[in-house]
Structure 1
Amino acid sequence: MFLKTLRILGATGLLFGGAILLSLYGQTVTKAASSTALISEVNIGSPGATNKDYVRLYNLSAEPFNLKGSRLIKRTKTGTTDTNIKSWTADAFIPANGYYTWANNDYATELQADISTSQTLAADNCLALRLGSADSGEIIDALGWGECTQLVETLPICNPTDGQSIKRTDNQDTDNNSLDFTAGCISTSTDPEPVTTTTPSNNIFTGGNETVEIEEKSILPAKIIISEIRPNPTGEDLNNEYIELYNSGEKDFILTDHRLVVDNQTPFYFSATSTIKAKEYLLLTRELTNLKLNNNGGKLALYGLKKTALISLNYSKAPEGQVFSAINTNPKNKSDWVWNLAPTPGKENLIILPNQAPLIVLDCPDKTQTANFLWLDGSDSYDPENLPIIFKWQLDNETICERASCELPVTPGKHSLSLIISDGALSDEKNCQFTKTVPSTTKANPKNSSAISGQATTKKTITKTPAKPVTKSTTKTTASIVKKSTTNNNLTLSGTVLNLPGEAGTQYFFIWPDNGNTAWQIYRYNKVFPKLTVGDHIQASGITSIVNKENRLKLQTDNAITITAHNQKIKPEENIIGDISEGDQGHYITITGQLAGKQGNVLYIDDGSGELAVYNGKVAADNVSYKIGSTLSATGVLRQTASGWRLLSRASDLKQLSMPQDKEVASTIPEVSSSIAIAPRDKNTENRYWLLLAGLLLIVVGGWSFKYMNSPQRKLVSPKDKNEQ
């Protein structure tokens, strides 16, 4: 009885202990979608080595593919039922982006195959990976060679020559075996080899009645492109519309069984003799194809034997007389086609771009204004062809200035402001609205956190704690804002990089000038900057301006910045939030206080004298591990925005000095250093530790029980217990 109890106890301990450990640390493999498994390579042996047969499968997915429930089957060229090569009734995985190999038993050891059976392969066979029952299960992938057409995708590949395996090219899958595989009888080039037929035809097109809707997702082949279309010619459309194809490959591309589709019109099919020779164009006129290109925009596509378009093109409303042309021989994105003034039917494209309207670059004034004058700066606006620009500023529909930058007197009330720029032919316009208010005679309380940060006074009240003592810099002076009379001047500025392009805005970054006491924006409208690192010392040349009270240097060329040194340090001013004033605009400061709130990319820090919004354009504060009540320090450029003061701080310049204390713990430990963070207990982790300990104990008890059963101590067991065994 004792040994029987030990057996039960041992088995139970091992079973439940193993189950606990598996539940805690076991990995669950997700089965990939069926379309991710491909037949990658097949070998059918050769004379003298007839049993060197193997099939290599490949998994396109980033997750392991489970073969359980699948079967590898074959058919002969006359066969109508499946012959099982291997069926999987238990888990067997093709690794993520990896291979799994079946081989004949005689070749399995040498090949180090994953699985083997006695089946063989031969010429004129078909092969398929099927999910489910033989003959009727879903085909995952199929391959036919020689004269086998039972299980083939579109057209079979030829029988391989001796010593050659059938290999898939770059794991591509166009559902055409003749294009996806090589076997020693066709070119090993990655260019798709066209399939020819002997059907004679005197026309390059034959009509059809099928209507096909173009699929949005298209696959661009290696060498054939839609190089140019003319939807809206000057004069009559019928005799002047055309579609032009180009073959940039080294081989002729035969268009047998291909069809051309425009919108949902009846497609036209290329005949067996239709060919685009290597490096040549094929011009397809509307008169020839009867395909109409819509002047208001449309879609066109070239299809092969499958449902997905080989190449396709969407175009917008067509300007009269212009053609939509590819700017290179390998277009992939929408930007690789342009409307062009120079039609070149059947010839190499000549790109002459039409005039484009100038573009306004302007930040509208703040919605509410208290100053009696506004400084307007539209000098960042530009013309794509670098044509001279004419400026016109209008206030309440009256022209007030015709220069790039102007000083505008404003009266109380609501106003509309417009900037219109023109290159003499085309124009651009931007409209802004703002309200001029009468300044209040009551002096604002600088300790009011709402006045400082621009936050609503109804914001949830957070208990203030005394701020860490801060020594304010005595070297602080009035911000060196460029005077309006000195804007639009050429300037070469040297300074140290404080942040990187994209952290505050994609078109600019800040530097601290060598001779100054306020940060400068370095601005480039096309976002082209050298590779920079915070702390780089640079020299930049451009034109001065002021935007939202900040100094800006507008670069005129892409190479206007020179990096002169690295790893330079700028010491920030230590600041008290409640003392921030107009003269602090653009200063590089450090603040210290408690985290009072988080919203999006903004952290609200309160130092006891006021609250300041700390902004980082790269890191969402809600996803940062900072907890409300933590003591933080933040360093960055101080900016005045429409919603109040903000500190532009990089993620690396945000430092957590202490974590909030748990109230119960704090009450029992009266004095704890502010640099120590007391974290609450993690109940889930604690439970996992107890389960782990229980599992280990059960395994130890189970192992000891089995060991005891085989030890000499069994001799001490009573006869009664032996009989019960």
Structure 2
Amino acid sequence: MHRLNAVVVLLLNLLLVVLFAPQTHAASPNLVIYQVQAGGLVVDVDDKTAATREYISIYNSSDADVDISNWCLTNKANTAFACFNPAAVNESLHLPAHKFATVSSDNFANANNFIPDVNFITTNKTSGSIIASGDIISLIDPNGAAIDVISWTSTLSLSGGYVLQRQFTAPQSEILVDTDSTADFQKVNGLEIPSSGVEEWVMPDVCLNVDGIQASIPIGFISDGRGECDPEIVDVCTNLAGVQADLPDGFRYDSDSVCALDLLPIKITEMLPNASGSDDGNEYIEFYNPNDIDVDLSNYIFYVGVDNSSFYSFPTGSRIKSGAYLVLYNKEVKFTLINTNGRVQLRSIDGFMVDESSAYTDPDEDMAWSLIDNTWQYTNQPTPNGANLSSLDTENISIDTVSSLQPCAANQYRSPETNRCRLIVAANSVLAACKDGQYRSEETNRCRNIVSDISSQLPCAEGQERNPVTNRCRVVGAVLGASTLAACKASQERNPETNRCRNIVNMPIASYTPKQTEIN
């Protein structure tokens, strides 16, 4: 009977152990809860913080680092009372292999002069976040999965500062027991705090202007080398220097990613290689745009010299208006047109030759080398920013002969036929009418006899003829040149109308020609 009672008592005790033993569970072989203290030992009746002096430690049983960023501890109320939150978005918290992470309430840290990896304020100022008489503590990853869970009931109360601690598989071992049974833990009086091994990793952000932490340059971006990244620009013209995000003005797509000029060629029209005085700032090259649109000159390069040894870009922002000239002086771009010989060539930035001047040789001062009627030639009329002009003939300019004749009176003019002074007849003057049998000569403005019947006049003497101009008889020899008249003097000539000698006078060019007014 006594043996039976003893057996019954033993079975009851075993049942009580099973029913009231601490319930533990480990969901991961990597990270497990190592220690739990639900409150401290009350050493003074006035100590009101003992119940809130709470502590938990976590251990990494694996052989690899584990990123514990944003992992949390929760109680049976599913309240996350402590989390491993990084201090910055480019930081992360890692628990190395076989190292501990520590968590404590602020009252525990203050009472023990301890700095944990995570310091929390208890959810209840009186009872704290962990209930000593019974609770469930879970380790939750950022995805909400339970990594490890430990629980206990009132039969294993942790009041009075007791600690629930997981056991190692053997002394000096780095492996904790994790069989999900009561034998994994033991209740100990006193807490031995392990050293923390949590590491704070700082991730370099190579693209500070892009949302999130970019440990490397994202696909489709390019770094500027100063910590910022911009979307990578697709070069639509791989044959042109630099990166062309868009088709440049004046170009067209020739083939895939190859661009060609789609304009009438810009023309080189004039240059001044040998300016008088200093060449600096006075030499120039003139260009002409035959297109009906403005042209961006950043797509062009010009070369100087017979061997194209020097090349230059146009000033930033240079544009040449449609149908207009652009003159580039060597004070704007430091080119040199040497005085002995040279030429200018214009190319697009892809190397295509757009235009080229003929070569000049030993130009005189201020002689422009100009394209005139599609021929390169020198001109003494430089016309920067204007249509080119041929040279003026400075050797054959006529000079008016200065006459020794006395000037005519104010109311007279010099007749271009007789070189004599004649009265100026005003338009409003009234001449006396001619007599009957007379008419007014248009040449002399004088009255002359009207010969109505030439046949009634007396015939001229033998050897004479009637002058059709004067209606008078004259010697026939005067007309035929067979006259025996004495020769005129060296400074004279014979008037073919009067057959008389007259002085030879260098006739000046009249400054005006008066209008002859016919009086009816």
- Report the TM range for the smaller structure's normalisation: under 0.3
Instruction: State TM-score, norm by structure 1.
Output: 0.19
Structure possessing the higher radius of gyration over alpha carbons? 2
When you count helix as a share of all residues, which structure comes out higher? 1
Instruction: State TM-score, norm by structure 2.
Output: 0.26
When you count strand as a share of all residues, which structure comes out higher? 1
